[in-house]
Structure 1
């Protein structure tokens, strides 16, 4: 059996880092409404609420180098940022990018920028600048990250989420952009075929901006499912959650067959659900009907009394996160 920690990624250590950093940086707050620890920070500037977020694509960049598929990385970079912005109710307005390369990469850079533009147009945001660096000895291959800015009129932080509220799940494009250190270990160990699953593994992260903003006045919270998977729902509420998740795409089953324990899959990957929406019974049908214009939407559970996150998997296995 292969766990995430076997690939060199310790999620518990990352949580410790996040908690430590959040505590230290809080000493700088003056106009901060939402600080480190939520999906995006929010600051008040002369009455205007601005949301900020920074994220990269992670080690999926290494598979881009193996497959020659770089455009998807640009889309991923936008998606990882704007999806977190809308998760606090922000409308994405601007992006700046950072690309670091080991050496000049003309063709690769062209694809990365084309992907960045494609993702930004999908998110209806603008690329207003960035930084491109060549750093031999520091970078092996390339890395890409973005920072994004959004404007908040209706903060959606989950403060009014309560037992009885409905939880909807929006279908993902597949793996999106987390868990790739574990995936690469499976590939390198000969347990997962990159050749057979290249298209699925390199599919770009779905951008949920239009979906979430379109129902913002009828929802209580939104949660982007990325690293740490469903454990990040603790950012939304301390109440209990009862989730019955649908059958995921075949790529997730293939990864599990390659040796990843069933419970570990739900701690690392999105398992076919890329965004979760919290809404009241009053608006549930309206929200669901709107979201179905874009892709599959699943009624996956409710908020309950208590504090546990209980997941019923597609194999009818009950997990407690």
Structure 2
């Protein structure tokens, strides 16, 4: 296989990242039959979107995961971490809202090099404040100390932060999947 080159300037991501995402999606899609016909099995035919709709009887939950990526370096350089909770919630809730679902609960994973209580406090204070603003509950998570497996800018705690968000798509609401959007429509 030929390695894809870099993405065009300004497109965010890379051709290699797109190829890796396709590989992950192909393997993930092969797991869908494992839950076919069962509660929380895939049922909306929206595989490949940023969020997946999962039926529970007549009710439907919507689920997605995302992280804050390289924005961590900005916080490291500024020594200010309280805004990252807002970004983390924005990264996962927008995927649900884009489908027309109401984001309800979030669980998160914070992988760190070493623990710094002040940074952890800033991160979770920001997450708390963002959750209050959005009307979302943080229902779980994990902090994992990974030592030298984590790298970053400067000598402070280095980390990666991601979350999973679960929302609700009310009965009678159709997901917004973009299929009815035509040129000239207001988005």
Alpha-carbon distance, 1:47 to partner? 2.1
| 1:64 equivalenced with 2:75 (yes/no) | yes
| 1:54 equivalenced with 2:65 (yes/no) | yes
1:45 maps to which residue?
Answer: 56
Once the two structures are overlaid, the 10-residue window that deviates more, 64-73 or 18-27, is: 18-27
2:128 maps to which residue?
Answer: 117
1:119-178 per-position Cα deviation (integer Å, ceiling 9, x unaligned):
111211100110011111212211111110000122111222234422xxxxxxxxxxxx
Alpha-carbon distance, 1:5 to partner? 7.5
Between the two proteins, the alignment pairs up a number of residues equal to 163
Report which structure shows greater RCO (CA 8 Å, sep ≥6).
2
Alpha-carbon distance, 1:20 to partner? 2.2
Preserved CA contact (<8 Å) 1:18 1:37: no
1:162-202 per-position Cα deviation (integer Å, ceiling 9, x unaligned):
34422xxxxxxxxxxxxxxxxxxxxxxxxxxxxxxxxxxxx
Preserved CA contact (<8 Å) 2:7 2:15: no
Preserved CA contact (<8 Å) 1:103 1:135: yes
For the aligned residue pairs, the C-alpha RMSD in angstroms reads 2.0
- Deviating above 4 A after TM superposition, structure 1's stretches of 4 or more consecutive aligned residues are 3-6
- Provide the rounded CA distance (Å) in 2 between the counterparts of 1:64 and 1:115: 12
Match of 1:18 among 3, 7, 21: 21
Alpha-carbon distance, 1:104 to partner? 1.6
Preserved CA contact (<8 Å) 1:94 1:148: yes
Match of 1:28 among 28, 31, 34: 31
Alpha-carbon distance, 1:38 to partner? 1.0
Unaligned runs of 5+ in 2: 1-5, 152-157
Alpha-carbon distance, 1:36 to partner? 4.1
TM-score (norm 1): 0.48
- SS in structure 1 at match of 2:30: helix
Alpha-carbon distance, 1:18 to partner? 1.9
Match of 1:144 among 161, 164, 168: 161
| Alignment CA distance shift 1:95-1:130 (3 Å) | same
| Alignment CA distance shift 1:138-1:4 (3 Å) | same
- Provide the rounded CA distance (Å) in 2 between the counterparts of 1:27 and 1:58: 27
Unaligned runs of 5+ in 1: 167-277, 279-321
2:3 maps to which residue?
Answer: none
- Provide the rounded CA distance (Å) in 2 between the counterparts of 1:69 and 1:120: 19
TM-score (norm 2): 0.80
- Provide the rounded CA distance (Å) in 1 between the counterparts of 2:78 and 2:184: 46
| 1:156 equivalenced with 2:159 (yes/no) | no
- Provide the rounded CA distance (Å) in 2 between the counterparts of 1:11 and 1:105: 33
- Provide the rounded CA distance (Å) in 2 between the counterparts of 1:100 and 1:70: 15
Matches within 5 A, 1:126-205: 126-140=137-151, 141-153=158-170, 154=173, 155-166=175-186
Alpha-carbon distance, 1:35 to partner? 4.6
- SS in structure 1 at match of 2:48: coil
